[in-house]
A and B are shown apart, each in its own frame.
Chain A
Amino acid sequence: MTAAPVLSLSGVSKRFGAVQALTDVDLEIRPGEVTALVGDNGAGKSTLVKTIAGVHPIDSGTIHWKGKPVRIARPHDAQDLGIATVYQDLALCDNLDVVANLYLGNEIRRRGVLDPVTMERRARDLLDTLSIRIPSVRIPVASLSGGQRQVVAIARALIGSPEVVILDEPTAALGVEQTAQVLDLVERLRGRGLALILISHNMADVQAVADRVAVLRLGRNNGVFPVATTSGEEIIAAITGAADNAVSRRRSRAVPAQATPAADAEDTTADAPEEAP
């Protein structure tokens, strides 16, 4: 369970103008593990992920990749290290077929010319090994369902054989069956030894697949919990900050199984600094 972390952040801070989006955030990502990243809106989840993905370079702090300090200044740096990101809004081209989408930006060429045959064969093999079922790899992505599009987007991230895959709310717009399919895929990827970062608002999903939950609150760490031994209420308390004050600590002692989200009035006002654009 405690393999050496493939990616570790320590003391990471990021500021956008007047907004301190991240303050001294630590995070460790281990291979073969799903680390869920949770937090309320504006807690800094997306910013943190974007610093890892190279969209927003960090202001201070250090990022270690397999023990060595690295600088991630551009999306390209992250890709070169082996970090792939599946964004919330899929980023697929509807008009292109599945194969073209999988290899967009990484086309396989043969004598300088696109090699659709090799791309299609490898795409099919990749989808087969992941047990992904779609009608055909040669139909435009526009005619796939939401869940199919999500698995295609995830498969796309795997083309460069990354070691860390970041999933930004992969189940946000999906139905029950489709959510299950995506979570299956997440577990299969974990089984292949990948390190996964899962951003989610959905506690059920987090508890279903994550090994550890890292909670962010107002741009700071608010605890890392092993999922197996933590209740959903404890995580929610950490997200909302309900465990931070004496009142809720008293209450949770009195009524053990019931945490009260949004118990404190201070919470709503303190949430004002929105996440940076």
Chain B
Amino acid sequence: MSDTQKDVVSDADAQPQAPGEQLAPDPRLLVRERGLMGYVEDFRRRIRGGELGSIPVVIGLIIIAIVFEAQTGTFMTPRNLSNISVYIAGPGIMAVGIVLVLLLGEIDLSIGSVAGLSAAIWAVLSVTHGVDDVVSILLAIAAGAAVGTVHGVFFAKVGVPAFVVTLAGFLGWSGVQIWVMGEEGTINIPRDSWVRDFTDFYFSDISAAYTLAALITAGYVLLSWRHERRRAEAQLAARPLTEILIRGGLVALISFVTAYTLNQHRGLPLALVLFLAVLLLADFMVRRTTYGRQIFAVGGNAEAARRAGINVARVRLTVFTIAGALAAFGGLFLAGQGGGASKSLGSGNLLMNVIAAAVIGGTSLFGGRGWIWSALLGTLVIQSITSGLNLMNMSAEIQYMITGAVLLIAVVLDSVSRRTQRTAGRT
């Protein structure tokens, strides 16, 4: 991140000589030295500068795993880990939407209600009215998108704070959810529904998980190798091949160990595949498209974005649409997990868990800073804690307290690192 062209192309760098003064490098230039010490130095500088990124959450996950394994002895079993990988899908997909909203510097308090509403719409359409299953699913997601658009219009066009709009939505849509459910308290999933498959289908052939792991690894190495080669051709600082391979090895290690663990239980869950697909798509959108760049710009400085010709209202509106659609999609997973739609689906601490997940994963509450993968990391933390405490037969109140404490720690880290960054910037 903080390397300059100096560390790879020192001789090519010397050619555009402007008169005299450019010869002496500024002593404050952030030049990364070569070799291992360079990386250590770079790392230390980032920590000091408050760029913690995902380090705290990874450390947190390791601590959680060690503590619960020591307490229960069954936490690290393939069965438990596989279950966690299924349970994270629903809240995780919703968290992707929240990450997008947080990048704008806004908040969406309605996603729990929207998730419940979408599950209710799907269930009533498909079970009560006999509409085709896939059509019902698509309509439920479309309803979520429409709800998100309504929030977006009130926020971006009318100018009501997003907090208030979505708070109204939080109450209003859960009312609509109960109204849609009508007489029924709960509607059970029919046996052959896709919604059941979302969380109950496993690719039991062991080759599926390994193929996916291989694809992910190969894709990562190939894409980053191509990218770094283009950078080197353009005479920019490029990661050396060894670094790409080390990173690729790390990706391979994680994906193959995960694949192996999943194969020990029931195979590769469809839920995880869908969640990964959402993550990859969203990550691509955020980092590699103009639209993603615009989201960051609006979250960082809306006025600057407006002057740069970005249609700020359109970006805001569409982000809320996407968040609504993802909340609806995630809601269907929750319905699948819970065996059907109910009047209370999506209520309780779901909303807070999803927002907490996005923040714990390293996306700032203050807008403009974060990455999509925090949805995965944060949801993993929350779900691991829930699952571990369940294994220890802890009651719900303890779970609430511990999740609350973890969220507080995450927000404190966010605030402190923001402050450190600001002071470190003043050099």
Chain A residues packing against B (C-beta within 8 Å): 75-76, 79, 87, 89-96, 100, 104-107, 109, 112-114, 117-118, 120-121, 124-125, 128-129, 131, 133, 135-140, 142-145
Contact = CB atoms under 8 A, between A and B. Distances in A.
Nearest to B425: A143
Nearest to A93: B300
A121 B235 contact: yes
B305 A104 contact: yes
Given A92-B301, A113-B289, A138-B2, A105 B308 contact: yes
Contacts of B368: 93-96
Interface string B286-308: 01111011001101110111011
**Residue from B21, B49, B236 with most neighbouring chain A CB atoms (10 Å):** B236
Nearest to A112: B289
A174 to B, nearest CB: 15
B309 A135 contact: no
Nearest to B303: A91
A109 B290 contact: yes
Contacts of B421: 142-143
A117 B236 contact: yes
Given A114-B288, A135-B30, A139-B1, A95 B234 contact: no
5 contacts: A91-B303, A106-B308, A131-B22, A136-B4, A136-B29
A137 to B, nearest CB: 8
Contacts of A106: 308
Contact of B296 (A95, A118, A129, A135): A95
A91 B308 contact: yes
B37 interface: no
Contacts of B305: 93, 104-105
Interface string B1-35: 11111000000000010110110001011100000
Given A93-B296, A95-B368, 13 more contacts: A76-B309, A93-B301, A93-B305, A100-B296, A113-B288, A120-B234, A121-B236, A124-B5, A125-B16, A131-B18, A139-B1, A142-B422, A143-B421
A135 B293 contact: no
Contacts, number: 120
B266 interface: no
B26 A135 contact: yes
B426 to A, nearest CB: 8
A100 B293 contact: yes
B301 A117 contact: no
A142 B309 contact: no
Nearest to B298: A93
Interface in B289-344: 289-290, 292-293, 296-297, 299-301, 303-305, 307-310
B157 interface: no
A92 B304 contact: yes
B300 A95 contact: yes
A167 B296 CA distance: 26
B293 A143 contact: no
B231 interface: yes
B48 interface: no
A44 B426 CA distance: 34
B293 A104 contact: yes
